[in-house]
Chains A and B, each alone.
Chain A
Amino acid sequence: EPEVTQTPSHQVTQMGQEVILRCVPISNHLYFYWYRQILGQKVEFLVSFYNNEISEKSEIFDDQFSVERPDGSNFTLKIRSTKLEDSAMYFCASSEAGGGENYGYTFGSGTRLTVV
């Protein structure tokens, strides 16, 4: 079964450092997303990306965050200057289409980011 692949599985970084979280979405999917889950809290939407541009972003996704699809396969989330409160599990997801009941919205296994 096709998978969304995320690397690394765990990243530890010092406060103020830049981090890049990487994702390889399912190859025929057109829509890409980042979500995060702070320990003990719900999964929260960060950003959606389609046709090489951001479709929608949440209030969490401020100027410190950026996304990029640098080639035909990778989708990255960059946090420019990490803060302690950025510590969370970050999930990448992709979907075939923007709507419809069976659009195959699939999540990766996540990257656990720990800011120290």
Chain B
Amino acid sequence: DQQVKQNSPSLSVQEGRISILNCDYTNSMFDYFLWYKKYPAEGPTFLISISSIKDKNEDGRFTVFLNKSAKHLSLHIVPSQPGDSAVYFCAASAFTQGAQKLVFGQGTRLTINP
């Protein structure tokens, strides 16, 4: 089941530059997309989300772009900071049966180099 895919297992970016993390999905029924950040031995921490009716959502240094026709979304972090080093998961949801199940991608390990 590969409904949500993050094709880059790792990404290395210099501090101060832009980090761009990508995610593709196959299920056109997904209505919300979320990005989570995860440190080792911790749970996923919510970063930002976007509804399928929008194409952009911005929160501080984080911006998520959604291209529905391409079934692609991306997370932009600018400027990147050392504390951004973590694993980033893309997740998608479709409202069914009274609760919002999340389908996760495999994650991308982001390393910010000083």
Interface residues of A (CB under 8 A from B): 4, 6, 31, 33, 35, 41-45, 48-51, 55-56, 91, 93, 95, 98-99, 101-110, 112
Contacts and interface: CB of A to CB of B under 8 A. Distances in A.
A99 B100 contact: yes
B32 A31 contact: no
Contacts of A44: 104
Size class of B's contact patch?
Answer: 20 to 34
A97 B16 CA distance: 37
Given A43-B104, A107-B43, A101 B32 contact: yes
B34 A105 contact: yes
Contact of B100 (A4, A35, A103): A103
Contacts, number: 78
B69 interface: no
Contact of B89 (A43, A49, A50, A104): A43
Where chain B touches its partner, the secondary structure class is strand
B92 to A, nearest CB: 11
A94 to B, nearest CB: 10
A95 B111 CA distance: 30
B106 A42 contact: yes
B51 to A, nearest CB: 5
A110 B42 contact: yes
A91 B98 contact: no
Contact of A110 (B32, B41, B49): B41
Contacts of B36: 107
Interface in B61-114: 89, 91, 95-107
